[in-house]
């Protein structure tokens, strides 16, 4: 146990991150100067298949260097370095504290001067442990939010009270971990580099960060970094500022994002989607009709109804697969498009978004099967490992199909089924970088779907990855529209959150799912406020135009806010503490900027109790807004019209949000202008 009780050598409180360092290798960190949040655990690494740890003396601290000053890409810092040795192999563990209040962060660096050999263990574990924190009861009550699993960590996200009973997503599906108190102090801990190879491990009473367990060796001089980032302005500000700092470092700034996303037709215009949940997912218009006729009939119906569809999405139904659903050839089957996708494009004359899955060991592109490109083979799936492959695939699709967005789905399956991705330090990054760089050369954008958090973190290096799915497939769960929490993570990483397709009519007669859509207007509202794609999947003759066109102007331009709508802090606090003091249901906020003025948007849905809002609770007083919130009026389509300035309150009645069968309320704020 590393309890920091005596002989404190260093205390830092310059920024929102507080650090205390002892002379025995122990350290504490906190986002609050009045209490300790996290206390260090033992240092450890795996060498020659044996764990070496300070907990049992098999790993010894051989040298301590305090306050080594320098400057890195974040700014000026002081390093506190422990040299740890086992069998003549050294790990340097550095705590990096930044001297500017503009950098509220602490960096943890694992450095292996001689490298590391014989390190592999269970792929779901780690081969090195630093930082390590004890899961003990903190001095002050803390909540946590842990992302994990597919859809950017949304599917397995967990929230609760921090302490010995906390359950953290770990292993290959792990993601950023957030801690917070009830007074606005918050901390986020996540990998800073080596995103595809880094993991979090909950190991008994400790939480550890390190390199994933399948990696057997590290090269000499290897460094892995973990960043703890802090805020004293709440959870929402924490995500925003952490993301902005990372994106600046990786040149995915707001200016770069504006160019990339504004040039993505699937993010700016209304389109048709045919993925899981859509009426025409693995279903054509009738038994005698192929997909080409079906898509052209949808287009004709849209023109008849004056619905301005500007692109079509093709899902996994268009290409051949093997008996486990893996892709053998990324091209259309004759049963789908009798001539070719090129022939479809000659008739449709609209750009395409095209879906893809994980690759088959029977892929015709692989050299192992007589193809031209290098692939890595696993037991059941394969992985392209050749830049020329992506150049071939994308140039053909761009030039011949009219492709604008490549949708890489099943990212979790590709990773978890490919041994080479789970055991290599670099193959995961190489795969995504090859894909992304080729997309950039061919003028394409990319959507990630079924991604693990590590995929999304890696997209920091890839501005062409403009969007990401943040919830389950439509119709697989009735609450898949609840994307407000995970939209924080997507927005921080510069990714437009995608809710997936939806229906605009309650009863879509003849649908294959035997389902109804109880809240079609809510589906349109959520999609529009997400800043992601707005892509209905209605049957022909079943679209409710008046509901759908609430998203757009008559040219199909989506009327989206300045930022994605995200859950307010009080919603996340209630998820964690469950004490009835926060928002019991979904309460999201966002805003638009018009002539340097803030126009607020508030969505309340699924409320089980009344909730009182203020500009502060909604995030409208946050220093992250580009312009200050002015005295305003709060109004809704249901007749609400009240003054709403920085100190005003308004209570949303849960009963008022259940009108016309739809369980939500939508409010707006507009600044008050005085003349004369």
Q: In this predicted model, what pLDDT tens digit does every residue of 326-376 receive, in sequence order?
A: 999 999 999 999 999 999 999 999 999 999 999 999 999 999 999 999 999
Task: Work out the percent of the chain whose per-residue pLDDT is above 90.
Answer: 91
Residue 160: CB partners within 8 Å, gap ≥ 6?
Answer: 143, 144, 166, 167, 576
Residue 5 pLDDT: 38
Q: Across the chain, how many H-helices and E-strands are there?
A: 14, 37
Is the pLDDT at 4 greater than 60? The verdict is no
Q: What separation in angstroms does the CA of 77 have from each of 70, 106, 574? A: 6, 9, 36
Residue ranges in 447-595 assigned as alpha helix (H): 453-458, 486-492, 520-529, 545-548, 569-577
Q: Give the integer Cα–Cα distance in Å for 248 and 487.
A: 19
Q: Which of 66-80, 373-387, 651-665 has the highest mean pLDDT?
A: 373-387
Residue 14 confidence class, pLDDT cut points 50, 70, 90: low
Closest CA to 534 of 561, 512, 509: 561
Token pair 């990324």: residue: 330
Burial class (CB in 10 A: 0-12, 13-18, 19+), 471: buried
Q: Could you count the other beta carbons within 10 Å of the beta carbon of residue 457?
A: 25
Domain ranges of the chain: 8-249, 269-551, 566-671
Q: Report the distance separating Cα 280 and Cα 286, nearest Å.
A: 10
Alpha-carbon distance 98 to 70, whole Å? 10
Spatial distance between the Cα atoms of 318 and 290, rounded to a whole number of angstroms: 11
Contact 245, 74 (CB under 8 A): yes
Q: pLDDT (tens digit, 9 = 90+) per residue, 403-426?
A: 999 999 999 999 999 999 999 999
**Taking residues 191-213, what's their average pLDDT?**
98
What CATH number has the domain spanning 8-249?
2.70.98
Residue 439 pLDDT greater than 60, yes or no: yes
| pTM over cut 0.95 | yes
Q: What does the pLDDT read at residue 6?
A: 35
Question: How high does pLDDT run on average in the chain?
Answer: 96
Q: What is the mean pLDDT of residues 446-457?
A: 99
Q: Which of 564, 434, 561, 562 is nearest to 496 (CA)?
A: 564
The secondary structure element, H or E, covering residue 85 is: strand 76-86
Residue 360's CB is within 10 A of a number of other CB atoms, namely: 25
556: pLDDT strictly greater than 90: yes
**What is the DSSP annotation of 580-629?**
SSS-SSEEEEEEEEETTEEEEEEEEES-SS-EEEETTTTTTT-TTSSSPP
Q: What is the pLDDT of residue 333?
A: 98
Q: H helices within 233-349, ranges in order?
A: 235-249, 254-262, 265-268, 291-304, 341-348
Residue pair 502/537 in contact by the 8 Å Cβ criterion: yes
**Is 3 a residue whose pLDDT tops 90?**
no
The tens digit of pLDDT for each residue in 252-276 reads 999 999 999 999 999 999 999 999 9
At residue 9, does pLDDT exceed 60? no
The answer on pLDDT for 7 being more than 70 is no
pLDDT for the residue 519:
94
What is the predicted pLDDT for the residue at 2? 34
> How many residues make up the chain in this entry?
676
Q: Are 263 and 520 contacting, i.e. CB atoms less than 8 angstroms apart?
A: no
> How does DSSP classify residue 343?
H
Question: What confidence tens digit (pLDDT) does each residue in 299-328 have?
Answer: 999 999 999 999 999 999 999 999 999 999
pLDDT in tens, 32-87: 887 899 999 999 999 999 999 999 999 999 888 877 789 999 999 999 999 999 99
pLDDT class of 12 with cuts at 50, 70, 90: low
Nearest by Cα to 415 from 464, 361, 371, 454: 454
The DSSP element (H or E) to which 576 belongs, if any, is: helix 569-577
Q: What is the pLDDT of residue 660?
A: 58
Burial class (CB within 10 angstroms; exposed 0-12, middle 13-18, buried 19+) of 319: buried
Give 659's pLDDT tier (boundaries 50, 70, 90). low
What whole-number percentage of the chain has pLDDT above 70? 97
> Which pLDDT value is given to residue 66?
76
* 349 Cβ contact list (under 8 Å, min separation 6): none
Using one digit for the tens of pLDDT, what is the confidence trace for 155-174?
999 999 999 999 999 999 99
Which runs of consecutive H residues, i.e. helices, occur in 405-448?
A: 411-416, 419-423, 427-441
DSSP state, residue 269? B
Q: pLDDT (tens digit, 9 = 90+) per residue, 596-620?
A: 999 999 999 999 999 999 999 999 9
* Phi (first) and psi of residue 649, to 5 degrees: -125, 155
Fold held by 269-551:
TIM Barrel (3.20.20)
- pLDDT tens digit string along 524-544? 999 999 999 999 999 999 999
Pairing of strands 445-448, 465-469: parallel
CATH 2.60.40 fits 566-671, yes or no: yes
């Amino acid at each position: 146990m590393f309890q920091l009780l005596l002989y404190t050598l260093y205390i830092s409180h310059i920024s929102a991150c507080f650090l205390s360092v002892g002379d025995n290798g122990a350290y504490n960190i906190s986002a609050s100067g009045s209490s300790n949040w996290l206390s260090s655990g033992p240092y450890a690494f795996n060498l020659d298949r044996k764990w070496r740890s300070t907990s049992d003396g098999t790993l010894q601290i051989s040298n301590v260097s305090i306050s080594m000053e320098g400057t890195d890409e974040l700014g000026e810092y002081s390093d506190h370095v422990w040299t740890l040795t086992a069998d003549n192999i050294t790990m340097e563990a550095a705590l990096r504290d930044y001297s500017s209040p503009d950098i509220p962060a602490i960096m943890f660096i694992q450095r292996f001067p001689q490298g590391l050999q014989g390190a592999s263990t269970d792929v779901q574990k780690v081969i090195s442990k630093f930082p390590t924190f004890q899961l003990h009861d903190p001095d002050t009550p803390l909540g946590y939010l842990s992302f994990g699993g597919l859809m950017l960590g949304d599917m397995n996200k967990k929230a609760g009270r921090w302490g010995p009973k906390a359950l953290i997503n770990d292993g290959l599906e792990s993601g950023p971990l957030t801690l917070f108190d009830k007074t606005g102090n918050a901390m986020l801990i996540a990998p800073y580099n080596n995103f595809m190879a880094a993991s979090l491990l909950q190991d008994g009473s400790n939480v550890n960060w390190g390199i994933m367990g399948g990696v057997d060796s590290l090269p000499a001089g290897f460094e892995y970094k973990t960043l703890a980032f802090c805020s004293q302005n709440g959870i929402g500000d924490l995500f925003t500022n952490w993301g902005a700092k990372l994106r600046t470092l990786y040149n995915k700034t707001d200016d770069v994002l504006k160019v990339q996303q504004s040039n993505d037709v699937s993010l700016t215009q209304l389109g048709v989607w045919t993925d899981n949940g859509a009426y025409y997912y693995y279903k054509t218009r009738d038994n005698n009709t192929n997909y080409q006729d079906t898509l052209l009939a949808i287009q004709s119906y849209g023109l008849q109804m004056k619905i301005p569809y500007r692109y079509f999405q093709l899902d996994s139904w268009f290409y051949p697969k093997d008996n486990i659903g893996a892709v053998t050839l990324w091209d259309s089957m004759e049963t789908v498009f009798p001539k070719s996708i090129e022939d479809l494009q000659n008739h449709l004359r609209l750009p395409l978004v095209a879906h893809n899955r994980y690759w088959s060991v029977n892929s015709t592109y692989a050299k192992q099967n007589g193809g031209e490109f290098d692939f890595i083979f696993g037991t059941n799936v394969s992985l392209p490992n050749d830049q020329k492959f992506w150049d071939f695939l994308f140039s053909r699709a761009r030039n011949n199909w009219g492709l604008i967005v490549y949708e890489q789905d099943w990212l979790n399956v590709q990773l978890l089924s490919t041994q080479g991705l789970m055991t290599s330090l670099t193959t995961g990054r190489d795969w995504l970088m090859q894909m992304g760089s080729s997309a950039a050369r061919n003028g394409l954008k990319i959507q990630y779907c079924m991604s693990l958090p590590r995929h999304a973190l890696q997209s920091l290096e890839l501005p062409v990855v403009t969007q990401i799915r943040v919830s389950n497939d439509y119709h697989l769960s009735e609450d898949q529209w609840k994307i407000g929490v995970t939209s924080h993570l997507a927005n921080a990483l510069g990714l437009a959150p995608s809710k997936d397709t939806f229906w605009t009519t309650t009863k879509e007669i003849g649908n294959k799912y035997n389902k109804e859509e109880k809240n079609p207007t809510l589906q349109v509202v959520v999609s529009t406020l997400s800043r992601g794609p707005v892509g209905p999947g209605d049957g022909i003759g079943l679209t409710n135009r008046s509901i759908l066109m609430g998203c757009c102007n008559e040219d199909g331009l989506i009327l989206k806010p300045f930022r994605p709508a995200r859950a307010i802090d009080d919603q996340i606090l209630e998820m964690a503490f469950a004490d009835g003091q926060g928002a019991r249901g979904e309460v999201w906020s966002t805003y638009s900027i018009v002539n340097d003025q803030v126009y607020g948007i508030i969505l309340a849905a699924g409320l089980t109790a009344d909730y009182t809002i203020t500009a502060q609770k909604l995030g409208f007083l946050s220093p992250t807004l580009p312009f200050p919130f002015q005295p305003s009026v709060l109004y809704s389509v249901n007749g609400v019209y009240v003054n709403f300035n920085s100190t005003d309150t308004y209570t949303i009645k849960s009963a008022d949000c259940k009108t016309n069968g739809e369980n939500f309320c939508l409010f707006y704020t507009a600044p008050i202008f005085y003349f004369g």
